[in-house]
Amino acid sequence: MNDTTNRTDRYSRGQIVLHWAVVALVVIQLLSHEAMEDAFKEPGLAKAAIGEDPVAMVHAISGIAVLVLMLVRIIFRLRFGAPTLPPDMPQIQQVAAHATHLAFYGLLLLIPLAGFIAVALGSEDMGDVHGTLVTLLWIVLALHIAGALYHAFVRRDGVFKRILPSR
Q: Could you read off the pLDDT tens digit of each residue along the chain, which spans 167 residues?
A: 444 444 468 999 999 999 999 999 999 999 999 988 887 776 566 666 677 888 989 999 999 999 999 999 999 999 999 999 999 999 999 999 999 999 999 999 999 999 999 988 888 899 999 999 999 999 999 999 999 999 999 999 989 999 999 86
Amino acid (one-letter) located at 163: I
What separation in angstroms does the CA of 149 have from each of 19, 104, 160?
Answer: 17, 17, 8
Q: Give the burial string for 46-68 (b: 16+ CB within 10 Å, else e).
A: beebbeebebbbbbbebbebbbe
pLDDT of residue 1: 43
pLDDT at 98 (0 to 100): 94
Residues 45, 24: contact at Cβ < 8 Å?
no
Cα-based angle 150, 29, 81 (whole degrees, multiple of 5): 50
- C-alpha distances out from residue 68 to 32, 50, 87, 159, Å: 19, 20, 34, 26
